């Protein structure tokens, strides 16, 4: 009897929602590699965001393809992975699912005031809090047919991890 392949998961949401924190914890709990989506942005994208310029669909295309390649490789190898990616629009998530058809999405969402507060407290990240409104305006929450797990970031990290772990492991 062959073991089931390990899950391929993207933790998504706007900046400041806790994608990296949950993604790292989920990857560790599942025993799979972690891919920090922010590290896959080309230098031009980082410079744009650091300057307070929102990215366009064209700016995001190569970045999404890099994430998709990492997801596809993990799925092909059966090694599983957890990646973080804002995945703000349906077309972005469709692009990721085209690369890794078994992809599971965990969408962290929350009150805009709480998101702004969290972004204001964080240090060492290129994404300024001034870009939060553009991210919220771009966000297309996952539709029911996408099968995403939707979690409120106001819940304790342990509760978020427990729910994400149940979801990632599947039925």
User: Domains of the chain (ranges plus CATH)?
Assistant: 8-169 (3.40.50.300)
Using CA atoms, how far apart are residues 67 and 84, in angstroms rounded to an integer?
9
Residue-wise pLDDT for 36-87, tens only, equals 998 999 999 989 888 888 889 999 999 999 999 999 999 999 999 999 999 9
Beta bridge partners of 12: 107
Nearest to 128 by CA among 62, 20, 50, 72: 50
Q: Check whether 2 has a pLDDT greater than 60.
A: no
In the sheet with 8-12, reading across from the earlier edge strand, the strands are 34-35, 81-84, 8-12, 104-109, 149-152
Alpha-helical regions (H) of the chain: 19-30, 43-50, 57-77, 90-99, 112-121, 132-138, 157-169
Residue 4's pLDDT band (cuts 50, 70, 90): low
Question: Quick one: tokens of 40?
Answer: 């896959």
pLDDT at 119: 77
Q: Please report, rounded to a whole number, the percentage of residues in the chain having pLDDT higher than 70.
A: 93
pLDDT at 121: 79
pLDDT at 124: 64
CA distances from 114 to 16, 90, 144 (A): 9, 24, 25
Q: Check whether 130 has a pLDDT greater than 80.
A: no
DSSP 104: E
Residue 7's pLDDT band (cuts 50, 70, 90): very high
Using CA atoms, how far apart are residues 8 and 108, in angstroms rounded to an integer?
17
């Amino acid at each position: 009897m062959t073991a089931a392949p390990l899950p391929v998961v993207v933790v998504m949401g706007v900046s400041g929602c806790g994608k990296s924190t949950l993604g790292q914890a989920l990857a560790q709990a599942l025993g799979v590699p972690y891919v920090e989506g922010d590290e896959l942005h080309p230098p031009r994208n980082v410079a744009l965001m650091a300057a307070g310029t929102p990215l366009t669909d064209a700016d995001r295309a190569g970045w999404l393809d890099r994430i998709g390649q990492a997801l596809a490789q993990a799925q092909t190898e059966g090694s599983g992975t957890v990646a973080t990616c804002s995945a703000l629009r349906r077309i972005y998530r469709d692009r990721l699912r085209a690369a890794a058809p078994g992809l599971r999405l965990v969408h962290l969402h929350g009150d805009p005031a709480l998101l702004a507060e969290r972004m204001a407290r964080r240090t060492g990240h290129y994404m300024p809090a001034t870009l939060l409104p553009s991210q919220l305006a771009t966000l297309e929450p996952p539709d029911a047919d996408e099968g995403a797990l939707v979690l409120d970031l106001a819940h304790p990290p342990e509760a978020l991890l427990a729910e994400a772990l149940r979801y990632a492991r599947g039925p």
